[in-house]
Structure formats: structure tokens, C-alpha cells
Amino acid sequence: MKSAIQVLKEQFNHFYLVRRLSLYEIKSKNKNNYLGMLWEVLNPSIQILIYWFVFGALLGRAPVEIDGKEISFIYWLMAGFILWTFFFQSIIHGSKSIYTRLRMLSKMNFPMSIIPSYVIFSQFYVHLVMLGISIIVFQFAGYYINVYFVQLFYYIFAAVCLTFAISLITSTLSTMIRDVHLLLASVLRMMLYVSGVLWPLSILKEYPPIILTIIKLNPLYYLMEGYRISFFGSEWYLITHWQYTLYFWVVILVLFLIGATLHVKFRRHFIDYL
Amino acid sequence: MEKAIIVSNVTKKYKLYKGTKDRLLDLITPKSYGEDFFALAGVNFEAEKGDIIGFIGINGSGKSTLSNIIAGIVPETSGKVTVNGQSSLIAVSAGLKNELSGRENIELKLLMLGFNKKQIKELEPEIIEFAELEKFIDQPVKSYSSGMKSRLGFAISVNVDPDILIIDEALSVGDKAFAEKSLNKMKEFKQKGKTMIFVSHSLGQMKEFCEKILWLEFGMVKDFGTVEEVIPKYEDFLNQWKKMDNKERNEYREKGFERQKEILFQKS
């Protein structure tokens, strides 16, 4: 508990640093390519097109129904996939954030817990741009901004919380045991298929309900549903499914407590693991 | 006099593993696997404010480990280090980001050291001027020569105005002109009464610049005193050491590690 408060305090006290460092982060990553930061947007766009081609065009996925409305598969996919890209990139880069930067941070009084957060933040800018583009596309496709859009801010915040809580754990563990990072990459690959990014869970109707419940235990699924409801739906998802909301925040809290405890316990010795 | 650095009974233990199996077993089981290696064993020393101390000793005697611990980069295994003031370590590998330009590296490094936007704006031109990078300042650091890199690293560390400066072999790179310029900067610091620690193999520089010498051997303090006292003893030792053949050196080393064990045993 004490370490959790300490980590939170560091986040707030050094928020300026998080913002500045995250900008350098994107800059240094895209310094070598001619199109620069455009790649941050191009990459996920190309991926969406590929998945749309495979699942939508080749396998002929039917439109998905949300709150009684039919949503074309491509738009449905897009709404989930931008969240997925943010989640995937943040977790992957967050996990290796500490051990790849430790040498550079030659000072101990640098608050280590902001390393994963500024890496996540650099992804967050990209996410905001992607969201902006998607919203514009949805306007042309006929899914207009309405009052339920307000929920989106809540889900964006929740997504940042989830990625930070997970990254706090994985960045500590993968600094100590490098294999964790490799394992994580494999697990994430699987997550893409079971988090409801590429296909709606409604096609599981004929299977025993227990499978659906297990899939819903994944906190990312809560966010997926939330994003899509905000774009296309007509309900206040976080209130109508308040048990699920409660479950989500309990999971975040537990993950964060574990992460903060691990981080504070081992951070003094990170350099010994290099 | 006010103490700037107090190092009391500091020990640094590294674990030497035979393979990944040992490493894993050590991590998850309470039993200890792998061999202990003590880079430092029961080191005590104190530096007054304004002291200029040189660390000497043959390779592997723990000079760099001790300076890293004082700089707060590496944690000590046991013992206590008290440092009054902000310390800054200058090493050859100054931790620059290769993809970013020199200017961006300066900004990034200063940000991480906790400077705000205004202070960075003020410091930047001084650093650029000191580093003598001229038009290369906006080129990515990966295109720099090793001399340019160390000049930049040195310029950043020196211009942030630390209270305690730790210089680890950093003056041995760069040409004569820059070395002289750095030395002059050091002298400026000396006049300001800053505490400095020098790690170098160049006894000439030590004699010229330091006031006190800490002689380390096998992670233990062999001698600590003024330059006039310690340097001649060390020179004698070096002459002896050069004459020894491999067998004698090994014997000497073993004796050293036995003494180390005794010290550690007394402590526990």
C-alpha cells in the first residue's frame, strides 16, 4: 500500500517530465525513417486493412449488431483495433522500458516508476491521433457523434490505467528475467484472438456459456466493448453493466498493488540485473 | 570541516554463476547458488568538502565500483554511503542516445537531471560551446567520433554544476587541447571548493591535480593519505608487480583474497 502511494506520488510530481520525455521518445523512434511519425499511424492502418481483407472480405464476416443497430464489419473492426494497437504497443514497449533505458538514467534519484508511464504516454499520443482519424471516418460512414460519446473519455482513461498497471509488473519482471518479455510477446499474440478484437463474441452463442464468461474475465474485453458502445451504441455501458465495471476496477487495483510493490522492492537493484 | 562523502564499511557482492541453471535456482530458491565475488569488502573512507581524491589501484581493485556506488548508480550490498550534495559521474560511456542529435541529447539529459525548461535554455549554449561540436550539434550522435561523444558527455556533466564530481577515466580521451581545457575547468571547480574524485591510471595527472589518494587493492583500502605519502609507495608496488611472473602474481592475489575473507569474517 505504501509503495502504491509512493508510485502514484511520483507520477503526479513528475508529470511534466513524463510529458516531455514521451515526446522525445516518439521523436527518437522515428528519426531514421523519411516519413517520420506518419508511420505510427500508417502501421495500424495497414494492419486494419489486412484483417479486414482476411476476415471481412475473404471470410465474409456479417455486420455486427450493437444495441439493435447493424454496424459494418470494417468499422466495427476499426473501433476495436485502435484500442488493440494502443494496448499491444504500450505493453510491449512498457515491458522492456526499464532495462533498455537503465544505462542512460545514470542517476538514482530519477524516479524509475515514470519510465513505463512515459513510454505508455508516447503511445498515447499516437492513440489520440488514431482516435481522431477514426471519429472523422465514422462521421462519413454515418455513425454520428452523440451523447454516448462522452463515455469514450472514461474508457480512454481506463485503458491508460490498465496498461500502466500491467507495465509496472512486466517492466520489473522482465528487467530481472529477460524471458518474461519474450513470453509476453507470445501471450499478446494470443490475446488478439480472444479479446474480441477480430470477431464478435456473439458467434460463440452455441458454445457453453462458461467459455464466454472466461473470455469476459479479460479486462481488455471490458474496454473493447466500452469503446464500441461509445462509438456505435445507445446505452451507458459502464452503468448498465456495473458489476463488470466493478470487476474491472478491482482487477486494476490488484494489478497496480502487485506492480507497485514489486517495483519499489526491486528498483534499487535493477542495475545489478543488467 | 564538513564531510562531503562518508563511506562506512561498504561491501559490494557480485554473484558469479556457472550457467543459467544456477542463476534461475538462485532466484527462485532460498538456497544460495553460484560463487560470491566481493568487488568491495569493508571499505571505509571519508572526504572533506573541497577534497580532491584520486582512486588508484591495479585492474579489478574496485575503483570503478566504488565510484559508481558513490555516484549512486550501483547499490551497495551492505554498509552505508552518505553523500552531501548532488553528485555527477563522468565516464567515457556517458549514456547518450544515438538516434537523437547532440542538441536533443543535451535537452534530454538535463530534463532527466531535473532541470526545467528555462534552466535548460540557459545552460544549452554553454554546453554546446564547451563541447566544441559546432555544426555537428544538430547531427545524430551516432555519426560522432568517439572523441566528440566524450566531449559532449563531459560538457554536459561539467556544466550542470554538481557539488561532487566523479571522473572515471574520462580525461584520457579527446585530444590534448580538450584535455587541457577540461583540466582548467577542473581547476576552476577546485577553486570553488568542490569535492572531486578522480579515477585514473595516469599517475602524472594524479600528482598534478589530486591532494589525497585512496589506494584500493582487491576491494579493500590499502592506503589513504596525501599524494606525497601514497604515490611513492604505489610506484614501488607497481615496479614490484611488473617484475613478478604469473605464478607470483597469482600467489599475491590469493593472499589478497584471504585477507578479504578475514575482513568479511570479522564483520559477520
Read off the pLDDT band of B1 (50, 70, 90).
low
What CATH number corresponds to the domain at position B221?
A: 3.40.50.300
**CA–CA separation, B41 and B248 (whole Å):** 23
Instruction: Specify which residues B54 forms β-bridges with.
Output: B198, B213
- In order of A47, A113, B69, B135, B180, the CA distances from B185 in angstroms are 55, 35, 24, 23, 9
Which residues in chain B have Cβ-Cβ distances shorter than 8 Å to A36?
none
Within a domain: residue B20? yes
User: Cell digits for A44?
Assistant: 495500424
Q: Nearest CA to CA, how far is B215 from chain A (Å)?
A: 25
pLDDT digits (tens, 9 = 90+) for A184-205: 999 998 888 888 888 887 777 7
Read off the pLDDT band of B172 (50, 70, 90).
low
Backbone angles phi, psi at B15, to 5 degrees: -105, 130
Within a domain: residue B250? yes
Q: How confident is the model over A7-14, as a mean pLDDT?
A: 88
pLDDT digits (tens, 9 = 90+) for B100-147: 888 888 888 888 777 888 888 888 888 888 888 888 888 888 888 877
Number of domains, chain B: 1
Within a domain: residue B150? no
Instruction: Specify which residues B43 forms β-bridges with.
Output: B10
Q: Which structural domain range is residue B51 located in?
A: 3-86+162-267
Within a domain: residue B172? yes
For residue B253, what is the enclosing H or E element? helix B246-267
CB pairs under 8 A between A and B: 57
Q: What is the pLDDT of residue B243?
A: 87
Quote ipTM for the complex.
Answer: 0.71
Read off the pLDDT band of A166 (50, 70, 90).
very high
Instruction: Specify which residues B49 forms β-bridges with.
Output: none
Q: In sequence order, what are the residues at sequence separation of 6 or more whose Cβ sits closer than 8 angstroms to the Cβ of residue B230?
A: B56, B213, B215, B223, B224
Task: Examine the pLDDT at B84 and tell me if it is beyond 80.
Answer: yes
User: Nearest CB to B113: which of A107, A268, A269?
Assistant: A107
Q: What is the pLDDT of residue A251?
A: 95
**CA–CA separation, B144 and B128 (whole Å):** 14
Within a domain: residue B132? no
Within a domain: residue B184? yes
Backbone angles phi, psi at B208, to 5 degrees: -70, -35
Within a domain: residue B115? no
- From the CA atom positions of chain B, what is the Rg in Å? 20
Q: Tell me whether residues B27 and A176 touch, CB distance under 8 A.
A: yes
Is the CB of B89 inside 8 Å of chain A's CB atoms? yes
**CA–CA separation, B55 and B196 (whole Å):** 11
Alpha helices in B72-168 (DSSP H): 102-112, 117-131, 146-159
